[in-house]
Amino acid sequence: METRKIIKFGNSSHIISIPKSWMKENKLKKGDVVYLKQNSNGELLVLPKERSDIIYKKAVIHATSKDMKLIQREILAAYIKGFNVLSVTAPNIKEKIPEIKKNLKQFIGIDIIDKNSKEIVAADFLDINNVSIKSIIRRIDNNVRSMFEDLQFCLDNHKINEKEFNEIYETDGDVNKFYFLLWKLTVYGLENPSILNKWGFNSVELTHTWWLGMNMERIGDELKRIARELKHKKFNRTTIKKILEIFIIIKKTYLDVMHSYYKKDIKLAYNASSKKEDIMKRGDSISANNLKVGKICEKLKSAQSYIHNMAKCTIYFT
pLDDT at 70 over 60: yes
Q: How many helices (H) and strands (E) does the chain have?
A: 11, 8
pLDDT digits (tens, 9 = 90+) for 284-312: 888 776 777 888 999 999 999 999 999 99
Domain CATH for 182: 1.20.58.220
Euclidean distance between CA atoms 284 and 304, whole angstroms? 13
Q: What is the mean pLDDT of residues 14-35?
A: 82
Structural domain includes residue 1: no
Q: For residue 121, list its beta bridge partners.
A: 87, 114
**Given this model, what pLDDT does residue 112 score?**
93
Q: How many structural domains does the chain have?
A: 3
Regarding beta strands 119-124 and 44-47, do their DSSP bridges make them parallel or antiparallel, or are they unpaired?
A: unpaired
**Given this model, what pLDDT does residue 215 score?**
98
Residue 250 near residue 307, CB atoms below 8 Å:
yes
Q: Which of 106, 124, 142 is the last residue of a domain?
A: 124
| Same domain, residue pair 191 and 146 | yes
Structural domain includes residue 193: yes
Q: What is the mean pLDDT of residues 139-157?
A: 96
pLDDT digits (tens, 9 = 90+) for 152-209: 999 998 888 899 999 999 999 999 999 999 999 999 999 888 788 889 899 999 999 9
Of 27 and 77, the one with more pLDDT:
77
How many other CB atoms are there within 10 angstroms of residue 17's CB atom?
9
Q: For residue 85, list its beta bridge partners.
A: 58, 123
| Same domain, residue pair 154 and 183 | yes
Euclidean distance between CA atoms 17 and 299, whole angstroms? 60
Euclidean distance between CA atoms 62 and 90, whole angstroms? 6
**Given this model, what pLDDT does residue 306 score?**
96
Q: What is the mean pLDDT of residues 237-261?
A: 94
Euclidean distance between CA atoms 309 and 224, whole angstroms? 19
| Same domain, residue pair 86 and 214 | no
